[in-house]
Structure 1
């Protein structure tokens, strides 16, 4: 095992652009540091405080090299030009890697890297730096396994744009990793047994920044429902909040809405008395007290809800969320409303059905107990240590 005394460093790469794809990476990075490895994270300014709260050193990129300043315009150009993303479209992840590499190479060299860790959105940079320093790299995939062996394989797991982004921008990069840790539950992902060599199901990986829960949440009253949007805002995803609140205010329930930093908290023209709208709150502090979670179908939110035995109503909005939501429903722990049906009446009917469904609670208990008997972080850290030799 590589120890601190050997002056070798595991270098992680994380970008805020990926939304929920970086907490599992921080979980592994912090776990490896706790096991005696030196770890430093290449990150953008917006994530420096978060990285440091995880107990990790931060190598901050210049503001002009934020991934979002390359990725977001690339997506906008496709929409503006009415062009479909295909294999001939410039890849913003590899473009970002080529821009960042010369800026960070000397700082990384001084750390004597023994390997690189990356989230999905950091994979392009991990690949070029691993090649530069002739060391292995490990991908921490925050969700289900995606492999495209046929033309249409996996298309129902993604939004139309998400499918093409994963197929043409992400998959060609991540398949070059020396190790890919899939931070999901094998049963959740259809109990696959034929992953390619170097791909491992380690189980769900949880990491949360600290945060406070408003005192109003603890006051006596009707049960709570959590309505949660993605950390990375998606186009018009506030419709989930508007439809959910419209449905829930007519029920004997209170509503806690949590949104990402890029969401406008004023999305509701008027906030009903039984609704509380907040920014970031650690879900582990509120999910155990909620009767239901209504969400966009982010993998991290779904895994936490299973862990805390909280029923789910999912409205998959984009990226890989259709695949996450489909798997949650197949596992028997969630109801599903299509994005095109996201309105007050559809959500009200689904909410009533789920709250009256004892089978969902039985399934949640079964899988939560199973989650509790597994040490996903230990499995992930041991896999990285085995890669190092």
Structure 2
């Protein structure tokens, strides 16, 4: 039996894949602990999860609307990733001391995990919940890459005593990437990247749902912009609701911020939904091209309409289109007419579903949480073998 410490940021889309892997490790008899945001982890990993609380940056600035390009990258690193690592570092260090893990699993956006694991001489694996970083987006921007490197050097000096040299986003011990070539495409990858496919473990139920509203004789589309786009998505959600007044389909529209007014009778508005069970009952997905939502839809062989908003979403949207599994809209220009036309296209043109089913088959063949757990077990065995008898 081995001990695994998962270090995750306070982001649903980053916790859920890790939770599937953690559940698989627990089922195999290993011990699992978490370092991160207590409330979110108990919600997503279960109330019995062993959680070491980590701090959040004080007075974190709100992301300015419409931020794109270099300005968005600057905000991500300077105002989110680095302050988050500084805030999480004491909790991660305390977790390592108290739990004594054999392996640390550190999310790409929880930089403190990789930095502190390396500084302590612990084997660690990167959890890459989106494929956007894998293709080295800074390869053509050397000055930006140098700037990111200087931020990491400063962070390493502050929280890890300057020890270590590895990029915390790409562990030399391995990277778990929750995708496959059929979606990722032919991009060159860093060494030791394991394409394990989506990790879709069971999740605690967080909402009731009116299952009787679904009509098996009419196609249904799930419309969701994720959990972090309420302000940016108000106009898009309103246009999507209007679009379904002219589409021969039903829509389940996720509106966590309660921004919508009256909607057509074939639209069901919910503040949240049980996404995985619902995906098994719908025919297509309209979303922001968040990596988790895209992969969960494709796991079910569902065609997509994607309207990326920011960050990695344009990259993921391009992968969907290149795979033939969906249609892309420009988020800022997606009015009711364009949304209606795109939804009708993916519902009526069978090639999109066939392509989605091809990606789904690759996901299942990759192994998901079971394959990820296997890689982690192997690393733990190597770690235990280096210990003297009786010290594990």
User: TM-score range with shorter-chain normalisation?
Assistant: 0.7 to 0.9
Aligned-partner SS, 1:286: helix
- Alpha-carbon distance in 2 for matches of 1:339, 1:78: 11
Distance in 1, Cα, partners of 2:122 & 2:314:
35
Secondary structure, counterpart of 1:22 in structure 2? helix
Name 1:57's counterpart in structure 2.
Answer: 50
Could you tell me which residue of structure 2 aligns to residue 33 of structure 1?
26
Q: Distance in 2 between matches of 1:231 and 1:86?
A: 22
What is the aligned partner in structure 2 of residue 213 from structure 1? 209
| Distance (Å, rounded) in 2 between the aligned partners of 1:24 and 1:90 | 26
**2:125/2:173 contact within 8 Å kept:** yes
Q: Does 1:66 align with 2:56?
A: yes
The aligned counterpart of 1:134 is 121
Distance (whole Å) between structure 2 residues aligned to residue 117 and residue 237 of structure 1: 32
Residue 108 in structure 1 maps to residue 100 in structure 2: no
Matches within 5 A, 1:172-211: 173-176=168-171, 178-192=173-187, 194-207=188-201, 209-211=203-205
- 8 Å Cα contact 1:136/1:178 also seen in 2: yes
Distance in structure 1 (CA, Å) of the matches to 2:52 and 2:204: 21
1:208 positional shift: 5.0
CA distance in 2, matches of 1:74, 1:293: 28
Superposition deviation, residue 191 in structure 1: 3.3
CA contact (8 A) 2:8 2:15 kept: yes
Relative to 1, partners in 2 of residues 1:336 and 1:344: Cα closer, same or farther, differing over 3 Å?
same
- Residue 117 of structure 1 corresponds to which residue in structure 2? 105
Q: Answer yes or no: is the 8 Å Cα contact 1:11–1:113 preserved in 2.
A: yes
Do the aligned partners of residues 103 and 354 (structure 1) sit closer, same or farther apart at CA in structure 2, a change above 3 Å counting?
closer
Partner of 1:320: 312
* Alignment partner, residue 269 of structure 1: 261
Residue in 1 aligned with 2:379?
A: 387
- Larger deviation, residues 334-343 vs 197-206: 197-206
Q: Does residue 1:346 correspond to 2:338, yes or no?
A: yes
1:12 to 6, 28, 47: 6
How far off is 1:362 after superposition? Answer: 2.0
TM-score (norm 1): 0.81
Alignment of 1:146 with 2:140, yes or no, is: no
Change (3 A) 1:89 1:44: closer
Does the 8 A contact of 1:308 with 1:368 survive in 2?
Answer: yes
Distance 2:329 2:286 in 1: 10
Secondary structure class of the residue paired with 1:236: helix
* Alignment partner of 2:239 out of 239, 243, 253: 243
Cα RMSD between the aligned structures? Answer: 3.4
User: Residue deviations 1:241-280, cap 9 Å, x none?
Assistant: 1111111122232210124xxx412x11213322211133
Name 1:232's counterpart in structure 2.
228
Aligned mates of 1:269, 1:285 — CA distance in 2: 27
> What's the CA shift for 1:369?
3.1
Partner of 1:48: 41
**Superposed counterparts of 1:285-300, under 5 Å:** 285-300=277-292
CA distance in 1, matches of 2:332, 2:50: 43
Structure 1, residues 113-150: CA drift from partner, whole Å, max 9, x if none? 2221122221x110232134320221110121232462
Question: Could you say what secondary structure the match of 2:359 adopts?
Answer: helix
Give the superposition deviation at 1:166: 8.8
Conserved? CA contact 2:103–2:376, under 8 Å: no
- Count, aligned residues: 361
TM-score computed with the length of structure 2 as normaliser = 0.81
